[in-house]
Amino acid sequence: MEADPQVRTYQDVGDLAFGTKGRITISAFLFLELFLVAVEFLILEGDNLAKLFPQLSFRVGGHAIGGSQAFIIISALVFLPTVWLRSLKLLSYVSAGGVVASVVLVASVLWAATVDGVGFHQKGEVFRLNGVPTTVSIITFCYCGHSLFPTICSSMKDRTEFPKVLFACFVICTFNYGSMAVLGYLMYGNEVKSQLTLNLPVEKLSSKIAIYVTLVNPLTKYALIVTPIAATIEDNLMSKRTIITSLLTRTTLVASTVLVALAVPFFGYMMALIGSFLSITVSVLFPCICYLKICKGYRRSKLEVATIAVIMVVGCLIAIEGTYSSLQKIIQHLG
């Protein structure tokens, strides 16, 4: 962004470094990441609603659909009207409450452990070598907001304050993620599930609050994630955009996320796949590659070049091992 004041988005960075090919490549990875996050939202909704209402089921074409699959479909139908909206200002304001919701979620889990009798009685292995690839991939997913950094920075009145903003965000996120991880381990040990809310006893008020808070977040954010993909399709792949074609495009996009969620309903492994394949690429590899290309004419210290090289090597190793590990586990569970 210092090299060109016109750069305002992550795609602009790719364009500055490698032209149209760079913009298209980065856009493809970003949109694929958004698409799979939307799939994750549906899986999350399905799993948690199935825990609250395990008996619900319905029949379609003679086939009984129940459990998380039923709620994935129901959640998509609820989300669909929000995707049809042309203006998402209201949802964007509501989704800002996600920070508060995350704090409430951790507080509810802590209350369940200390007041509602769940307790800290479980024991488990503190470290398992074969779990490292999945763990690193999920951690990468949690810290993969880099695609928004240029937009946030360019919107600030004083760009020099951006490092402080980043530092504050990473500290808050680390505290929140770490608190949930420690609570989950102390409460359930090796039996903790990919979503801690699935372990909580539903008869407790604190558990219900935690689950309902978890359910509200996707409702406000699903449309914000899917709309950029739909808008890009409408602007670049349609010669004539009408209300009907727009509705069909957005409905088809939602339906495709439902199909993927039904086919691969594994929240933790899907998150690990996104983290290792897409988040590592978007948040670690692309920034380094674009920086080296844009600043090719600048003199850099050997320490800086060596540091970038180490980051890229580690990033590639995580991407390869994490992607292989997550795909292997997804295939095993599908089998």
pTM equals: 0.86
Q: For residue 13, count other CB atoms closer than 10 A to its CB.
A: 26
Q: What is the three-state SS of 47-89?
A: HHHHHHCCCCEEEECCEEEEHHHHHHHHHHHHHHHHHHCCCCH
Which candidate, 84, 102, 85, 109, places its Cα nearest to that of 253?
84
Which candidate, 14, 11, 35, places its Cα nearest to that of 278?
35
* 88-139 pLDDT per residue, tens: 666 666 667 777 888 899 999 999 999 888 888 777 788 888 888 888 888 8
Give backbone dihedrals phi and psi of 30, rounded to 5 degrees, phi first: -65, -45
Residue 99 within any structural domain of the chain: yes
Residue 62 within any structural domain of the chain: yes
**In the predicted model, what is the mean pLDDT of residues 223-250?**
83
Domain of residue 40, residue span: 10-334
Q: Which of 36-50, 154-168, 215-229 is modeled with the greatest confidence?
A: 36-50
CA dist 95 and 221 (Å) reads 6
Is the predicted pLDDT of residue 6 greater than 70, yes or no? yes
Q: Are 81 and 56 in contact (CB under 8 A)?
A: no
Residue 129 within any structural domain of the chain: yes
What is residue 91's predicted lDDT score, i.e. its pLDDT?
66
Is the predicted pLDDT of residue 286 greater than 90, yes or no? yes
Is the predicted pLDDT of residue 233 greater than 70, yes or no? yes
Residue 210 within any structural domain of the chain: yes
What is residue 72's predicted lDDT score, i.e. its pLDDT?
94
Residue 188 within any structural domain of the chain: yes
Is the predicted pLDDT of residue 287 greater than 70, yes or no? yes
CA dist 210 and 190 (Å) reads 21
Q: Are 222 and 77 in contact (CB under 8 A)?
A: no
Residue 2 within any structural domain of the chain: no
Least confident of 237-251, 266-280, 298-312: 237-251
Is the predicted pLDDT of residue 307 greater than 70, yes or no? yes
Residue 234 within any structural domain of the chain: yes
Q: How many domains does the chain have?
A: 1
What is residue 159's predicted lDDT score, i.e. its pLDDT?
85
CA 269 to chain CA centroid, Å, is: 12
Is the predicted pLDDT of residue 274 greater than 90, yes or no? yes
Residue 175 within any structural domain of the chain: yes
- Beta bridge partners of residue 60, listed in sequence order: 63
What is residue 88's predicted lDDT score, i.e. its pLDDT?
65
